[in-house]
């Protein structure tokens, strides 16, 4: 007759996906890469959080346990308290991705980051996690506008029929051409998100928050719309939903001799300007490549961006 412990170990070895086997997998887990003292401090939290993430497969539970164990060990080393709402926030997980995953290969880093984000969305209620990104294949970026077209847009913004539209179009142009704001980020920016960092005007955008220096030629119009907004969002619209930005841009008075205005093309224009100033075309030419897709594999090995650094300030461009 098998002893109770033998039954437990045989069930663990079989790796069944029934609730009892998953529970056994969680309760029996012991990471190899974490020392005994650290595991004593983090083990209960790792098991509880894995259980709260509702794994439906034993392999899923095992992967979550390993990811959470590495993450928790790093968090404790950073002096953090293991409280899910605090440590499983977008900002902390992103910091872990940039600084705590260096021993892992690139593919493991990507998989582990996705796993932690999935767990965090399930087990937290107040952490500001955005909805999961659409995993469908991404289409090509929209083509940027020419300098002549951009100049025309600024002129058209000042010729809108109402003060509301003049303010709204100027704000959209300043946020997208100045800092590469996405459609979903336009309506949450207020004047308190516009900050000065070492004499550089910057904007806080998105979740997790990124601080983006504003292109030189967009600082003045941005400051004007900040003053006019009076503490309210710089861009407002009565419409809600995914087409909110498109509907607002579509309501502007546009002459027939200007191209169709879209947030996607404005953001591409900002990105093309930044890449030009950072000499990326020279990097492509020197490396003999025509696509930057492979660069994503190297991002994890590069130093994290620092606010106020020379490279960060170079994003403002050379305009006036």
- CA dist 122 and 129 (Å) reads 10
38-67 pLDDT tens trace: 999 999 999 999 999 998 888 889 999 999
pLDDT tens profile 103-161: 777 667 888 898 999 999 999 998 888 776 555 555 678 899 999 999 999 999 999 99
pLDDT at 174: 97
Query: For position 73, what pLDDT does the model report?
Result: 95
């Amino acid at each position: 007759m098998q002893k109770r412990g033998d039954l437990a170990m045989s069930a663990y070895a079989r790796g069944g996906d029934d609730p009892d086997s998953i529970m056994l997998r969680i309760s029996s887990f012991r990471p190899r890469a974490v020392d005994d003292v650290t595991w004593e401090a983090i083990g209960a939290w790792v098991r509880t959080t894995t259980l709260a993430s509702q794994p439906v497969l034993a392999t899923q539970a095992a992967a979550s346990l390993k990811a959470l164990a590495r993450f928790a060990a790093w968090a404790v080393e950073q002096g953090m308290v293991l409280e899910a709402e605090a440590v499983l926030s977008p900002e902390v997980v992103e910091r872990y991705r940039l600084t705590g995953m260096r021993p892992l290969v690139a593919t493991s880093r990507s998989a582990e980051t996705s796993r932690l984000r999935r767990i965090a969305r399930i087990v937290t209620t107040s952490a500001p996690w955005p909805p999961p990104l659409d995993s469908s294949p991404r289409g090509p970026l929209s083509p940027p506008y020419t300098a002549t077209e951009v100049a025309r847009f600024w002129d058209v913004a000042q010729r809108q029929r109402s003060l509301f539209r003049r303010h709204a179009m100027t704000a959209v142009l300043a946020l997208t051409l100045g800092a590469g704001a996405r459609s979903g980020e336009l309506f949450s920016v207020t004047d308190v998100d516009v900050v000065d960092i070492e004499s550089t005007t910057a904007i806080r955008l998105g979740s997790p928050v990124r601080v983006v220096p504003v292109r030189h030629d967009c600082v003045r119009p941005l400051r004007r719309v900040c003053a006019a907004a009076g503490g309210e969002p710089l861009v407002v619209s009565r419409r809600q939903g995914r087409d909110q930005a498109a509907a607002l841009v579509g309501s502007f008075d546009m002459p027939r001799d200007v191209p169709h205005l879209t947030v996607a093309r404005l953001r591409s224009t900002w990105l093309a300007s930044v890449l030009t100033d950072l000499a990326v075309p020279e990097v492509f030419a020197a490396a003999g490549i025509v696509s930057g897709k492979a660069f994503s594999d190297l991002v994890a090995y590069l130093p994290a961006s620092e606010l106020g650094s020379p490279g960060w300030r170079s994003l403002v461009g050379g305009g006036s």
